[in-house]
Amino acid sequence: MSAASWSEFELIARLTAGLPLGEEVVVGVGDDCAVLDLGGSRLLLLTCDSQVEGVHFTLRTSSPEEVGHKALAINLSDIAAMGGEPRYALVSLHVPRHCPLEVLEGLYAGLRQEATAARTLIVGGNVSGTGAAETLALDITLLGESERGRVLTRAGARAGDTIFVTGSPGDSAAGLYSLLDPDHPYPPAACERLRAAHRVPKPRLAEGRLLSQLGPQIVTALIDVSDGLSGDLGHICERSGVGACIEVARLPISAELRALAATLGRDPLAWVLHGGEDYELLFTVAPGYEEAVQARFAAAGAAPITPIGQVTEAASGLRLRWPDGREEPLPVQSWDHFASPGQH
Amino acid sequence: MSAASWSEFELIARLTAGLPLGEEVVVGVGDDCAVLDLGGSRLLLLTCDSQVEGVHFTLRTSSPEEVGHKALAINLSDIAAMGGEPRYALVSLHVPRHCPLEVLEGLYAGLRQEATAARTLIVGGNVSGTGAAETLALDITLLGESERGRVLTRAGARAGDTIFVTGSPGDSAAGLYSLLDPDHPYPPAACERLRAAHRVPKPRLAEGRLLSQLGPQIVTALIDVSDGLSGDLGHICERSGVGACIEVARLPISAELRALAATLGRDPLAWVLHGGEDYELLFTVAPGYEEAVQARFAAAGAAPITPIGQVTEAASGLRLRWPDGREEPLPVQSWDHFASPGQH
């Protein structure tokens, strides 16, 4: 039995089963961040995530600066997905012998810009060789903070809640598709924006803070869309012990994604539902608070949010409702870290 | 210009030059840990370090459990090297597709045992694929704590201080040598102990705490010996703006290292001075406090410590004094993360 027989989530669950936790561990393995209560006025958020050449990026399709931006952005997104504020970063680089210095300097330039924009300080790190492997990798650890009682997890969704998503999921995966098949005559402006969504995703930090201020009584569960809408909704359902029904007619689909899908003769829906690496926020809102949340986002000039379905009882599982009222199970097709970039 | 033209330390210095720091960053890039003052009663220590297959370990010479132990131990040693207490760990794994599940379970078993022994909780992590690369890697981030005013850095050594080291440096490198050249008829008991020192180093956490309790007025600088005695003494000298003179006659050399060196017809000194991965503590003590420190270690039943030389003015550089009074420059031959394991 090899690692490839298991999904990333199955592997983590198997390896970390039964890990001891202390009283001060508010949230352990299994959410976007660990949450620690060290007795100060605020809670500490801890997260780490990797970007590996040939798995998460290639230097054929992204510049070193873009890779640096994204490596930090995906970790910032994990802090956003708990409603927290990022504070400090550690940067661990695995550097092949023959990696040009300019690549590393480009990476770090991207990291610095992203850190500055997010008011995050890079306070340490590590550089290691890679031996015979020619694969560049970055591991970023991020430490953030949140107010007591304001941390949002994946675990609080209840039947009857409304499911919302920020922005327009699917753009990143469509952008990647166009990068991997560059010879098709895509509409240039649309293509450029979708590729940018893939190369340099914007973590929804301000939106995560807004949701945190609304609090867990109103915003019952929160996650960022890194594995794809269906996969990450599945994570909320699993941790909350609920089901969910997504209404196809309500899914936000960007004009750019529609334009690109049209030139390919494809339905954009697969990208919207299963495309990974959007780093939008997916969250559930208690009944009666939907309009208040939308008003709050509009007043703050935050990203657009769209109600896309309802939380249901666990027995219903994940379902998709078509405009004609027909329902069918929604398959979870998550980004698989053991697959090649072209396969997800 | 490629990464291999630079040492790990040159690369880090170049990439992180001029990073902005906030008021709350007590120590940033360039020591064993970052130290953060988040306003609570204690300071926060943050560190990360990697173990990469073919660079830091091979599964031919270490079991998966041993690799897990060591990956956490080297990070625990960074906390010890600031005088802190480890608290929480994040584990990031880079897993090749064909990696057997038993290897990962072995790794995690070693990590769990080491964490339990150090009263450290594993609270999160990440699993990533490696694409075409067949190289297993672990990145561990460790969060620790220390009392205000008790953090020990590399930066406080002054001319006239005495240099001490715990245990017997060189054992790990000699153990690695015997693993890479297994066919020589080594003395079995000695060989086994030296190999254990390499495979499963014991972080000097209790000793780091003792030094922290003595405080920075007495223990003026502290580092762990990961790069080799000469290299890590060089780090103290650089950060403290001093020189150092090591007395050859005072260097502690274990009976096992002497026995192994004898069967090879080699001088053990090169291993003691330049062998990496000992994870002993190297520290400097203000004049007049040498005996008090030794008495404190003896009373606590801590590791043996040995005075091995004196801190000097910066202009003298790093020097070695032979028993006949002759002095010569001490070359720094650090572990190089871009070299293969057999070359350091």
For A23-63, write each residue's pLDDT tens digit: 899 998 888 999 999 888 899 999 999 999 999 999 999 99
Arithmetic mean of pLDDT, A146-160:
96
The amino acid occupying position A15 is L
Residue A6 has pLDDT above 90, yes or no: no
- The pLDDT score that the predictor gives to residue A59 is 94
Task: Please give the angle made by the CA atoms of A270, A52 and A342, to the nearest 5 degrees.
Answer: 30
- The pLDDT score that the predictor gives to residue B58 is 93
- The pLDDT score that the predictor gives to residue B339 is 45
**Given CA atoms B31, B32, B36, B37 in this order, what sign does their dihedral have?**
negative
A11 pLDDT band, cuts 50/70/90, is confident
| H or E, element range at A195 | helix A188-199
Using CA atoms, how far apart are residues B167 and B33, in angstroms rounded to an integer? 22
- The pLDDT score that the predictor gives to residue B340 is 39
Question: What ipTM was estimated for this complex?
Answer: 0.90
A131 pLDDT band, cuts 50/70/90, is confident
Lowest mean pLDDT: which of A61-70, A278-287, B78-87, B182-191? B182-191
Residue B143 has pLDDT above 60, yes or no: yes
CB-based contacts of B9-14 (< 8 A; 24+ apart in sequence): B9/B235, B9/B334, B11/A95, B11/A104, B11/A127, B12/A125, B12/A126, B12/A127, B14/A105
Looking at chain A, the whole-number percentage of residues with pLDDT higher than 70 is: 97
List pLDDT tens digits, range A226-276: 999 999 999 999 999 999 999 999 999 999 999 999 999 999 999 999 999
- The pLDDT score that the predictor gives to residue B171 is 97
Query: What's chain A's length in residues?
Result: 344
Using the Cβ of A11 and the Cβ atoms of chain B, whether some distance falls under 8 Å is answered with yes
| Measured distance between the N- and C-terminal CA atoms of chain B, rounded to whole angstroms | 22
Using the Cβ of A10 and the Cβ atoms of chain B, whether some distance falls under 8 Å is answered with no
Arithmetic mean of pLDDT, A311-317:
97
Which residues 37-66 of A have a C-beta within 8 angstroms of B? 38-42, 44, 46-50, 52-56
Residue B96 has pLDDT above 70, yes or no: yes
Tell me if A124 and B53 make a contact (CB, 8 A cut-off): no
Lowest mean pLDDT: which of A137-146, B8-17, B137-146, B267-276? B8-17
H helix intervals, chain B? 8-16, 64-80, 101-117, 171-180, 188-199, 205-214, 229-240, 255-264, 269-274, 290-299
B21 pLDDT band, cuts 50/70/90, is confident
A334 pLDDT band, cuts 50/70/90, is low
- The pLDDT score that the predictor gives to residue A338 is 47
Tell me if B39 and A34 make a contact (CB, 8 A cut-off): no
- The pLDDT score that the predictor gives to residue B178 is 93
Arithmetic mean of pLDDT, B62-73:
97
pTM of the model: 0.92
Tell me if B34 and A88 make a contact (CB, 8 A cut-off): yes
Distance from CA of B111 to the nearest CA of A (A): 11
Arithmetic mean of pLDDT, B48-70:
94
- What does pLDDT average to over chain A? 93
- What does pLDDT average to over chain B? 93
Distance from CA of A158 to the nearest CA of B (A): 25
Using the Cβ of A18 and the Cβ atoms of chain B, whether some distance falls under 8 Å is answered with no
Is B287 within 8 Å of B137 (Cβ atoms)? Answer: no
Q: Which domains does chain A have, with CATH numbers?
A: 3-147 (3.30.1330.10), 162-343 (3.90.650.10)
Q: Which of A15, A124, A339 sits opposite B104 (nearest CB)?
A: A15
B182 pLDDT band, cuts 50/70/90, is confident
- The pLDDT score that the predictor gives to residue B251 is 98
- The pLDDT score that the predictor gives to residue B282 is 98
Q: Which of B3, B48, B122 sits opposite A95 (nearest CB)?
A: B3
Arithmetic mean of pLDDT, B92-116:
95
Residue carrying structure tokens 């597709």: B97
A344 pLDDT band, cuts 50/70/90, is very low
B273 pLDDT band, cuts 50/70/90, is very high
Strands A25-27 and B121-129: unpaired
Looking at chain A, the whole-number percentage of residues with pLDDT higher than 90 is: 82
| Tokens matching residue A126 | 């590590």
- The pLDDT score that the predictor gives to residue A340 is 39
List pLDDT tens digits, range B319-340: 999 999 999 999 887 655 444 3
| Tokens matching residue A305 | 């949010």
Residue A339 has pLDDT above 50, yes or no: no
- The pLDDT score that the predictor gives to residue A341 is 37
Give all strands of the β-sheet with A219-224 in edge-to-edge order: A219-224, A281-285, A162-166, A305-312, A243-247, A318-321, A327-329
| H or E, element range at B151 | none
Classify each residue of A84-105 as buried b or exposed e, where b means 16 or more C-beta atoms within 10 Å of its C-beta: bbbbbbbbbbbbbbebebebbe
